[in-house]
Amino acid sequence: MGKEKSLADVLKAAPSVKEAAEILRRRQNIPELDTIEGLQQCNSQFSSIWAKLKDLWLRKNDHICAAVCVIWGHMSRDNILRSKLADQGAITLLVAELSRPSLRLVILRCLAVVTSHGGPTERRSVANKAGKAIVNLAAETDSNNPVFTWCITVLSHSCAFSRSWRIASIDRLFSSCRCVF
C-alpha cells in the first residue's frame, strides 16, 4: 500500500489555488465559506479554525500558505470574521510574507478583499501595517505586472485611512513608477 501524500503535495497538485483552498477547507473540516450558514458556523468555531489556519500558515510552505490566504480572503467577506481575523493578527502575518514572490499576488488579493469589504478600522490597519511595504513593492514592480495592479487596488482602498505615511509614500510611488498616470 502506497504512502499517503502530504498536504503540501496534495495542494501542489491542485489545478488552481482556489481548488487547493477548497481541498484544504475540506481536509481541515472548515465549514462552507459561500453560504450564510457556513459563515455563521465559522463565526461560532472561529477559535479552532483560526488555530488550524495559523498553524498551517506558520509552516511557510508556499502551496499551503496560498490556500490559507484564499480561505482568509473568503472569510474576510464577512464583517464579523474579518474583524476577528484582523484582531488575531492575520494582516501582520500576510504583510510579513509579501517578500515572497510566490505569494505576493494571492496575499494582495486577500488584502484587497479585506480593504474593499472592510470598514475604517480594517482599512486603517492595512494602511498602517502594509502601506509602506506595498508602496515599495509597487515602486519596484513593472506596471504591466498584476502584482502592481493589486498593489494599487489595496492602496486605493486603504490609503485615505492612514495619515502617517500617505502623502510622502504616494509621492514616492508616483515619482518612481515606470508608468504614466
Q: Per residue in 16-63, pLDDT tens?
A: 999 999 999 999 999 999 999 999 999 999 999 999 999 999 999 999
Mean pLDDT of 4-25: 95
Q: What is the pLDDT of residues 69-124, one digit of tens each?
A: 999 999 999 999 999 999 999 999 999 999 999 999 999 999 999 998 888 888 88
Per-residue confidence (pLDDT) for residue 181, from 0 to 100: 44
Closest CA to 28 of 64, 62, 61, 63: 64
Helices (H), the chain: 7-13, 17-27, 36-44, 46-57, 62-75, 79-88, 90-96, 104-117, 120-139, 146-158, 166-176
Q: Of the given ranges (59-63, 107-111, 134-138, 159-163), which has the lowest mean pLDDT? A: 159-163
* CA separation for the pair 107, 146 (Å, rounded): 12
